[in-house]
Every structure is written in structure tokens, then in C-alpha cells.
Amino acid sequence: MLQLNENKQFAFFQRLAFPLRIFLLILVFSIFVIAALAQYFTASFEDYLTLHVRDMAMNQAKIIASNDSVISAVKTRDYKRLATIANKLQRDTDFDYVVIGDRHSIRLYHPNPEKIGYPMQFTKQGALEKGGELLHYRERVNGDGDARQNANL
């Protein structure tokens, strides 16, 4: 009798006992399911964390924007006082940096003094003029996220 051996790729698998083949099949399937679940939960947690950080940053920006000393310094365009307030905020909080602007999106304080007096650059034009909120998120080279927030004064 002539025997056809067309399935050389699965010859090893066919020589295994049937219960062992079923076990290996279930094992491979389980590994794929666990990997998919891990990916899903990682993405869900990352979304939750981003939302939480965004809300926290926006709340902090609103608190800063409602501070009487910040409001009066913005109205009088007291750059020195705004620099003192912003430096204190950077020292005492977890902010990477603080930018303060007026209702026309003109920077009144920026860590880089050369940018003071110039308009803020937004991807969403007119967001602050309409009283909206704007949050910028940037991925750093080392992988840490950097959330920036602006609140309308």
C-alpha cells in the first residue's frame, strides 16, 4: 500500500496522543485569550488614568485661575507678581511648568521669558475665547507624559 505523507508540517503533532493534542490546543488558545485580556485591561486603565489626570489638571487650573492674587495680577499685567506666583506653584505642586495668559490668549507668564507677550498657540482655535477648556498632552522622549492645562480667566 502506498501511504501519502503530505502533512509533514504536523507530523509531530499527529504522533502525540489525542488528550495531549487537546491540552496543547486549549493551552495555546488560553494564552491568546489572556494576552488579549491583558491588552484590553492595559488600554482601559491607561484611558482611565489619562481621564483622571486631565480632570485633576483642569481642576487645579480652575483653582489657580480663580485665585484673587492671580486675577488682580492679570488685570494689572503685573508680570513680576505673576512670575512669583507661578514659581511658587511650580515649587509647591507637581506641575512641570505653568503658563498664565489673559482672556485674549496673550502669555503674561511663561517659563521662557522670550515667549511672554505673544499669543498662545492652540490646536483648537477660539477655545479659550469662548470660555472653553483646553488640555495639551505631549509624550516625552523618555516615555513620561506631560499634561498642560489652560483655564480661561
Q: For the domain bounded by 18-150, which CATH number is listed?
A: 3.30.450.20
SS3 at position 149: strand
pLDDT of 152? 43
Average pLDDT, the chain: 79
Most confident of 23-37, 71-85, 97-111, 126-140: 23-37
**More confident: 131 or 144:** 131
Reply yes or no on whether the pLDDT at 42 is more than 90.
yes
Q: Contact at 8 Å (CB) between 122 and 110?
A: no
Distance separating alpha carbons of residues 96 and 129, to the nearest angstrom = 25
Percent of residues, the chain, with pLDDT higher than 90: 21
Average pLDDT over residues 21-26: 93
Annotated domain spans of the chain? 18-150
pLDDT in tens, 27-37: 999 999 999 99
pLDDT of 89? 82
pLDDT in tens, 55-92: 888 888 888 888 899 889 988 988 899 889 888 888 87
Confidence grade of residue 49 (pLDDT, cut at 50, 70, 90): very high
Distance separating alpha carbons of residues 28 and 32, to the nearest angstrom = 6
SS3 at position 17: coil
Confidence grade of residue 150 (pLDDT, cut at 50, 70, 90): very low
Q: What is the DSSP string of 49-114?
A: HHHHHHHHHHHHHHHHHT-HHHHHHHHHT-HHHHHHHHHHHHHHSS-S---EE-TT-BEEE-SSGG
